[in-house]
Structure 1
Amino acid sequence: MKFTKVLPLAALTTLSLALTGCGESTPASSSASSGIQVPDLPAATEVGEGEGQVNIVAWAGFVEDGSTNPDADWVSAFEKETGCQVNRKVGATSDEMVQLMRTGEYDLVSASGDASLRLIAGGDVAPINTELVPNFGNVVEGLKGQVYDTLNGKSYGVPIGRGANVLMYNTEEVAEAPDSWAPTWEEDSAYKGAVMAYDSPIYIADAALYLMATQPELGITNPYALDQEQLAAAVELLKQQNGIVGEYWNDALKAVSSISSGTAQMGTGWQVIVNLAQADGGKVESVLPKEGATGWSDTWMISAKSKNPNCAYQWMDWASSPEVNAKIAQNFGMAPANSLACEGSTKNEEHCESFHATDEEYYKNVWMWTTPVEQCIDGRTDVTCTNYQEWTKAWTEVKG
Structure 2
Amino acid sequence: MRSRILAGAAVAAAATLVLAGCSSGATDGSSDGLSIEVPDVPMMQEKGEYEGEVNIVAWSGFVEPAWSDEFTEQTGCVVNRKVAGTSDEMVQLMQSGDYDLVSASGDASLRLIVGGDVQPLNLELIPNFGDDIVEGMKGQIYDTLNGKSYGVPIGRGANILQYNSEVVTETPDSWSVAWEADSPYAGKVIAYDAPIYIADAAIYLMATDPELGIKNPYALDQTQLDAAIELLQQQNKIVSEYWADPAAQITSFVGGTTELGTSWEVLRKLTEDDKFKSVLPKEGSTGWSDAWMLATDAKNPNCAYEWMNYTSSPEVNGAIAMNFGMAPANAAFCELNDEAKAHCDYYNATDEEYFKNVWFWTTPIEQCIDGRTDVTCTNFQQWTDAWAKVKG
* Aligned mate of 2:3, from 6, 15, 37: 15
Q: State the AA in 2 paired with 1:358.
A: T
Q: Any gaps of 5 or more consecutive residues in structure 1? A: 1-11, 66-72
Q: Does 1:189 align with 2:177?
A: no
What amino acid is the match of 2:67? W
In structure 1, distance between residues paired with 2:256 and 2:95: 45
Contact 1:29/1:143 (<8 A) preserved:
no
- 1: distance between equivalents of 2:149 and 2:230? 38
| Equivalent AA in structure 2 for residue 30 of structure 1 | S
- Are positions 1:309 and 2:301 aligned together? yes
Report the residue type matching 2:192 in the other structure.
Answer: Y
Q: CA deviation at 1:131?
A: 1.3
1:46 aligns with 2:40: no
Aligned to 1:165: 159
Counterpart-to-counterpart distance in 1, 2:211 and 2:194: 26
Aligned to 2:348: 356
Shift of 1:41: 2.4
Asked if residue 56 in structure 1 is aligned to residue 44 in structure 2, the reply is no
Paired with 1:287 and 1:251, the residues of 2 have a C-alpha distance of 21
Separation of aligned partners in 1, 2:346 and 2:6: 21
Deviation at 1:136, TM superposition (A): 0.5
TM-score, normalization by structure 2: 0.92
1:276 to 259, 270, 274: 270
CA distance in 2, matches of 1:247, 1:102: 34
Total equivalences in the alignment = 376
Q: CA deviation at 1:154?
A: 0.8
Partner of 2:97: 104
Quote the Cα distance in structure 2 between the aligned partners of 1:343 and 1:188.
46
Q: Aligned to 1:324, which of 305, 308, 316?
A: 316
CA contact (8 A) 1:261 1:282 kept: no
Partners of 2:121 and 2:245 in 1: how far apart? Answer: 34
- The answer to whether the 8 Å contact 1:29/1:141 transfers is no
1:180-329 alignment to 2 at 5 Å?
180-277=174-271, 279=272, 281-329=273-321
Conservation of the 8 A alpha-carbon contact between 2:7 and 2:194: no
Residue 74 of structure 1 aligns to a residue whose secondary structure is helix
2:353 and 2:146 map into 1 onto residues whose CA distance is 26
C-alpha separation in 2, matches of 1:29 and 1:216: 20
Q: 1:323, 1:341 within 8 Å by CA — same for their partners in 2?
A: yes
**Structure 2 Cα separation of the partners of residues 246 and 133 of structure 1:** 46
Sequence identity percentage: 64
SS class of match (1:135): coil
Measure how far apart 1:345 and its partner are: 2.1
Indicate if the aligned counterparts of 2:6 and 2:88 stay in contact, CA closer than 8 A: no
**1:317 partner SS:** helix
RMSD: 1.8
The alpha-carbon deviation at position 356 of structure 1 amounts to 0.6
Q: Is the 8 A contact 1:56 1:108 kept in 2?
A: yes
Query: Match of 1:390, SS?
Result: helix
Change (3 A) 1:147 1:32: same
1:113 is aligned with what amino acid?
A: G
User: How far apart, CA to CA, are the structure 2 residues paired with 1:94 and 1:254?
Assistant: 19
Decide which of 84, 101, 111 is 1:91's aligned counterpart.
84
Alpha-carbon distance between aligned partners in 2 of 1:29 and 1:203, rounded to the nearest angstrom: 17
- Deviation track 1:38-94 (CA, whole Å, cap 9, x = no partner) reads 1222222222221111111111111111xxxxxxx1011100011111111112222
Q: 1:208-264: per-residue Cα shift (whole Å, max 9, x none)?
A: 100000000001111111111111111111111112111211121121122234331
| CA deviation profile, 1:266-299 (whole Å, cap 9, x unmatched) | 111110111111x2x2510100000000000111
In the TM superposition, residue 132 of structure 1 has moved relative to its aligned partner by: 1.0
Q: Which amino acid aligns with 1:351?
A: H
Supply the AA of the counterpart residue of 2:151: G
